[in-house]
Amino acid sequence: MTGNHIHVAGHLTERHITRTGQGGGRDVFEYALLRVVPRVERGECVNAGVLVYCRARGFLGARVHLDEARLLALDPGADAAGVRAALRAVEAVCGGGEAAGQAAGDDPGRRFRWLVAPRSTIVQPGPVHTGLTTDPSAETERLLDLLVR
């Protein structure tokens, strides 16, 4: 193993570590999918949104899109209006201010961590992933198109 390579499962791979000032203008961001699980006991879900947090830019954003037909295919009795309200509440917490309720005074990172904490409700966060971006807002839209729509 050298300083520029790392041994992983029998293969040498190039190490990709980005240090401050080496990202080519890109910043690390974290994201998680918002999943709708209408019947928790079945474990089926519909991707319905994405949360993006970029600490370097102080950005926290959410974009949601509920495919009601998919939701109702999993559970014809699902409360689509209730799910839409829960998704709007996530967007409100991301936006901060008075609409964020008790989270209004929290910094974006703390709000993101609260939103991605596991809970047993119909709208659930997926695992947190990372990436690099030059524009967290555009990244939010790109991820929504790629993973949700």
Mean pLDDT of 30-54: 94
What is the band of 20 on the pLDDT scale with cuts at 50, 70, 90?
Answer: low
Triad 137, 126, 22: Cα angle to 5°: 45
Q: How far is CA 88 from CA 76, 91, 92, 130, 135, in A?
A: 22, 5, 6, 24, 23
Kindly indicate the confidence band of residue 145, based on its pLDDT and cuts at 50, 70 and 90: very high
- Tens-digit pLDDT profile for residues 48-90: 999 999 999 999 999 999 999 999 999 999 999 999 999 999 9
- Using DSSP's 3-state secondary structure scheme, residue 126 falls into coil
Residue whose C-alpha is closest to residue 125's, from 33, 48, 29, 31: 33
Structure tokens at 124: 């659930």
Query: Residue 135 has what pLDDT?
Result: 96
> Percent of the chain scored above 90 by pLDDT?
67
> Which SS3 state, helix, strand or coil, does residue 148 take?
coil
Query: Which pLDDT belongs to residue 17?
Result: 46
Would you place residue 16 in the very low, low, confident or very high pLDDT band (cuts 50, 70, 90)? Answer: very low
Tell me: pLDDT of 103 over 90: no
Looking at the predicted structure, is the pLDDT value of residue 121 above 80? yes
Q: What is the mean pLDDT of the chain?
A: 86
Does the pLDDT value for residue 19 go beyond 70? no
Please classify residue 133 by burial: count the beta carbons closer than 10 Å to its beta carbon, then call 0-12 exposed, 13-18 middle and 19+ buried.
Answer: buried
- What lies within 8 Å, CB to CB, of 90 at 6+ separation is 34, 49, 51, 62, 64, 115, 123
CB-based contact 131:41 (threshold 8 Å): no
Q: What is the pLDDT of residue 5?
A: 46
Lookup result for tokens 């040498």? 12
